Structure 1
């Protein structure tokens, strides 16, 4: 039992240590984007957006239900932050073309 509790606590601690890029990549994958596109976009987004902007984007839970990139952009637009929208849209275009 102690080993199980220790394992759960360790997993929770490690999950809390995930980098913003890893969290962003995982969130993008949950929207249905491919792993390579998600990884590419996450790297670009983390380099270009502030932590506060990434958190605002992450709090928009409806993004995880976006069926495609157009819906993802529409939901992102609802944040009314032109910088977030510019980075997300340009990252999507660049990363989709690369992969």
Structure 2
């Protein structure tokens, strides 16, 4: 998951944090959908906006929650 997030343009630290929060909450199919969002360097907000195109409410919810937790500095 972390490498998919880095490939989607997020920084290493943000990717590591988000992957930790997301990997157990999404199915393999959902994780593969996220993996397809490869792209240039982007902000976390831009990534969450890109995830909305998947149109899977659970993926959007989990991604947005992980983004919020990681931006707030909350750790498991």
TM-score range, shorter chain: 0.7 to 0.9
Select between 47-56 and 36-45 the one with higher mean Cα deviation: 36-45
1:72-91 correspondence to structure 2 within 5 Å:
72-91=47-66
TM-score by length of 1: 0.65
Name stretches of at least 5 consecutive residues in structure 2 with no aligned partner: none
Q: Is the 8 A contact 1:31 1:65 kept in 2?
A: yes
Larger Rg: 1
Q: What is the CA distance between 1:32 and its match in structure 2? A: 4.1
- Displacement of 1:57 in angstroms is 1.2
C-alpha deviation, 1:36, in angstroms = 2.4
> Which is helix-richer, 1 or 2?
1
Q: Does 1:25 align with 2:2?
A: yes
Q: Which of 1 and 2 has higher RCO (CA within 8 Å, sep 6+)?
A: 2
Cα RMSD after superposing both structures: 1.8
SS at structure 2 position matched to 1:33? coil
Aligned counterparts, 1:24-63, within 5 A: 24-61=1-38
Q: What's the offset of the Cα at 1:55?
A: 0.5
Q: CA deviation at 1:66?
A: 5.2
Q: Secondary structure at the match of 1:78?
A: helix
In structure 1, list runs of 5 or more residues that go unmatched. Answer: 1-23
